[in-house]
Structure 1
C-alpha cells in the first residue's frame, strides 16, 4: 500500500498535443521536427488540449503516467482539457450559455489551466472539411498558438491519427488522405513557428496492422493508449531501454549489476538482492498484456541445472530453468508493477474530479445564464481543488520507484 503524504510544490505546465497527421507531403519521415531535448522543470504544469484523443485517455491515464514516471523527481502537475468533437475554434465546447462563445470558453479553459508546456491535438475533426478547409484550419491554429505564446507556454504539436473501419477501402483511403493533408498543414505551421511536431499517424497506422488498438473507427482503446504513450516517449527522446539487472551467483559471494546483493535471511534463499530502477513501468493493459513490452529483464548466471523461483514480498514473481535465467527472464509483475498501478489509480481519480469540476453536468444552472437558481454551488466546485491538490501530492510523492527486494530459491 502506498503511503499518503502531502508535499509542497508550485508552478504549472501545459502540454498541448495537436493530433494531426503530418510531414508526409513535405517529405518528413522523421518523428519530430525542430526537436530540442525534452525536459520538464520543477513545478511545471502539463496540459493536454485537443479533441477526443485526449479526452478518451481519462479512462486509462497512460499519457500522464508516462510523463509522471519519467520526471518523478519533479513536482509536475497535469490538466487534461481534451474535448470530444472539438476543433481549433473551440466549437465542440458550445453550451446553452452565450456568452461565453465556444471560442471564449476554449480561451477560459486554457487560461485557467496556467500552462507552461502544451501538447496540442487537433485536426481530426477539421479534416472532415477536406482540402478546402485547410486555410480556415491554419488560421485557427495560428490564432491558438498566438494565445499559448502569450501565456509563455511551450507547445508541442501532434499529427492526427488514422481511421480504421469495416467501411469500403476507398472511403477509408479518402478519409486518411484528408487526415494526412491536415497533418502536413500542422507540420508546416510548426516548422514556420519553430515548434516541435510529432508524427503519431504512421506509428499508430503501423501498429494497428498488428494489434487491435482502434475501436469505433478512430478512437484508441486501452492498448492503443499504451502504445501512444510509448510513441511519445520515443519521440520526446526519453530513454526507453529495458531495465536489466544481472546477477552472478556464487556460493561464496554473488555479485550484481544494476542491483545490490544483500545477506539472505534464511538458508533456502540462494541469493537475495535489491533493485532500484530509474522509473516505474507503464501499467499492463488488461487486454493485450501479453504483447506489450513493459517488462524488466533479469539475468542470473552461475546456477546449477534445475528450476528456480524468484520471490518478492513472499509472492512468486517468476520461475524458470537455470538456462533461461542465464539467457534472461522478463519480469512482468511484482512490487513495481503494483506501485505503478496504484499511481495510475490516483491519476484517474484526480482527473475524474477535475473533469466534473470544469465540466459540471448542470453547468447552465451553476455558471450559465440560469446561475441565479443554483449559482451558490460554484463554491462547491472551487472546493474540489483541495482534493485535486491532495491527490497531485500523492502522485508526485509515490511516482518514484521504491527499492524492491528479491530472493531466488531452487524448486525441489
Structure 2
C-alpha cells in the first residue's frame, strides 16, 4: 500500500510546476533570511533544509537567519524590515506570508456577509501592496528573492476547530499574485500551496479528519513542515544520490561510483568484498514525526538514495559490515538490484548525520529565544504608548505583564504569556544568544565532514 501511495504521490508532484532550474541553490558564503509569520517563526521547514544542505554538501557552508514572527503580516514585516531583516545583510531571502494577511474576521462557517466580502478585497489589496513594498526593499539591497506560495488553511478536513471557509481560497489568490511579484523582481518561486492542497486531498480520501497541517487548520506539525521542505528541495532540483557504489563480483571490477571514491586495493570476488570508501555526503536522517510524511511525499526515493549494488554474486545471503558494525543481511538478489542504506540507522554515516542534527536542534533552541525577543519587541514593546525603553527592565516588565493580562481569555493568551516570559529571561542575553547561534552553525559545518569507512560483504553463513 505504501508503494502504491508513493507512486501516486510521485506522479502527482511531477505534475506541479515548481520552476526547478530557476530557484537558486544555496552556495558557500550565502547569507539567507527566511521571512514569514508563525509558520516560519517555528523554524521546522527551513531547519530541515539547513540540515539537508549540511549533510549533502558538506563543503558549501553558509548561514541562515530566522526572520519569522508569529502573527505577523506583510505590513508588519515592512515595519520591522530594517532592524530584523536588512540587519542580517542577506544576499538571498525567502518570503512566505499570507496566513494572517487573510484576515480571520472576513470568514465564517456560514454565508459571508457583505462586510466580509468587502474585507476580503481590502485584505487582498493590502497584501499585494505591502508584499510589493517588501520585495522592492530586498531588491534595492541586491538580494535574490525566493517567493514561497503560502502553506494552506485547511478548510476541507472534518475537525472540531471552527472552519473559516473561504480563507484558503484567498490564500490561493495571494499565491497567484506571487507569480506577478516573481516576474516583476526577477525572483523565483517555491510552491507550498499547490502541493499541500494535493497531499491534503489524497489524505482525506481515506480519512476525512486527516490534515497536512495541524488540528487548528493553520500550523503544520513535523509532517507538514517536512512536506514543505520536500517542495523546496524539489524546486531547487536537489540531487537524488547521497552516494552510489556498484561492483561486479564475477569480474572483480568496480562498475560505477557516484559521489564517492574507493581505495585502489579493494577486494572484489565471489567470496569476499572489502574496500574503504570515502563518500562526499551523509544521508539525511528522517526522525520523529517526519517519518509519517514519508508516506505523503517520495522524499527517500527522490532525495535520499545511498546505494550499494553488487552484480553476479553467488546465490545466498550476505552480511554487510561497516567499520566492523553489522549493518544487515541481504540476499544476492537484493544486492543485485541495489539496496538503499540512507535510512539504516546502524551505519556510521547515519550516526554522524544524527550528530549534525543534534547541533542543528541546539541551534533551534537558541533561535527560539531570539525570536521570542523579536516577537515581543516588534509586536508589543514598539507599540507601547508612551514608549518604554528596553533598558528600563523593571518598568518594561510591569508594562508587558499588564499587556499580557489584557489578553486573558483569548485563544493566544497562553502563547503570548510564554513568549513574554521568554523575552524577559532572554533579552539580557541577546548578544550571547546571537553568538551561540553563529557558533552552532559553524560547528555543523565542521562535524559534517565525511570520513572513510571500511565496508565488508561476506556470505552470511560464514
Band of TM-score, shorter chain: 0.7 to 0.9
Asked if the contact 2:51–2:357 (Cα under 8 Å) also holds between the matched residues in 1, the reply is yes
Report the secondary structure of 2:335's partner residue. Answer: helix
| 8 Å contact kept, 2:243–2:281 | no
> How many pairs align?
370
Query: Residues 224 and 379 of structure 1: is their aligned pair in 2 closer, same or farther, counting only changes over 3 Å?
Result: closer
**Cross-structure match for 1:55:** 41
TM norm structure 1: 0.78
1:383–1:57 CA distance, 2 compared to 1 (3 A): closer
State the match for 2:71 in structure 1: 85
> Does 2:99 correspond to 1:113?
no
Q: Pick closer, same or farther for the CA change 1:31–1:370 going to 2, 3 Å.
A: closer
Query: What is the aligned partner in structure 2 of residue 309 from structure 1?
Result: 319
TM-aligned CA deviation for residue 106 of structure 1: 4.2
User: How far did residue 238 of structure 1 move?
Assistant: 2.5
> Which structure carries more relative contact order (alpha carbon 8 Å, separation 6+)?
1
Higher helix share: 2
2:329 equivalent in structure 1: 319
Shift of 1:134: 1.1
**Corresponding residue number in structure 2 for 1:132:** 122
Q: 1:109, CA displacement in angstroms?
A: 0.7
Structure 1 residue aligned with 2:361, among 348, 367, 370? 348
For the residues of structure 2 that align with 1:183 and 1:362, how far apart are their CA atoms? Answer: 29
CA-CA distance at 1:49 after TM superposition: 0.8
Counterpart check, 1:299 vs 2:309: yes
Alignment partner, residue 457 of structure 2:
408
Residue 180, structure 1, aligned to residue 172, structure 2: yes
Partner of 2:188: 196
Deviations for 1:197-217, whole angstroms, at most 9, x for unmatched residues? 222212222233456642222
Deviation at 1:76, TM superposition (A): 0.2
Partner of residue 153, structure 2: 163
Q: Distance in 1 between matches of 2:100 and 2:172?
A: 13
SS for the counterpart of 2:349 is: helix
Aligned 8 A contact 1:262 1:272 in 2: no
Alignment check: 8 A CA contact 2:242 2:283 kept: no
Which of 277, 285, 303 is 1:283 aligned to?
285
CA distance in 2, matches of 1:336, 1:189: 42
Q: CA deviation at 1:347?
A: 1.7
The 3-state SS of whatever aligns with 1:220 is: coil
Deviation at 1:358, TM superposition (A): 5.0
Q: Which moved more, 1:211-220 or 1:356-365?
A: 356-365
Deviation of the 1:124 alpha carbon: 1.9
- What does residue 393 of structure 2 align with? 373
Deviation digits for residues 189-238 of structure 1 (CA, Å, limit 9, x no counterpart): 22222211222212222233456642222322223322322221121233
In the other structure, the counterpart of 2:11 is none
SS at match of 1:255: strand
Counterpart-to-counterpart distance in 2, 1:57 and 1:358: 10
1:32 and 1:199 in contact (8 A); partners too: no
The answer (yes or no) to whether the contact 1:226–1:285 under 8 Å persists in 2 is: no
CA contact (8 A) 1:120 1:157 kept: yes
**How far apart are 1:31 and its partner, in Å?**
1.3
Deviations 1:356-377 (A, max 9, x none): 2353398689x95352236998
The correspondence for 2:18, drawn from 12, 31, 53, is 31
Asked whether the 8 Å contact 1:261–1:272 carries over to 2, the reply is: no
Which deviates more, 137-146 or 381-390? 381-390
1:336 aligned residue (333, 338, 349):
349
**Alignment correspondent of 1:18:** none
CA spacing shift, 1:315–1:241, aligned 2, 3 Å: closer
In structure 1, what is the Cα distance between the partners aligned to 2:274 and 2:37?
49
The question of 1:218 aligning with 2:208 is answered no
Deviation, 1:121, is 0.6
Contact 2:363 2:440 survives alignment (8 Å): yes
CA contact (8 A) 1:40 1:71 kept: no
* Unaligned residue ranges in structure 2 (runs of 5+): 1-14, 107-119, 204-210, 382-386, 397-423
TM-score, normalized by length of structure 2? Answer: 0.70
**Cα shift at 1:181:** 0.8
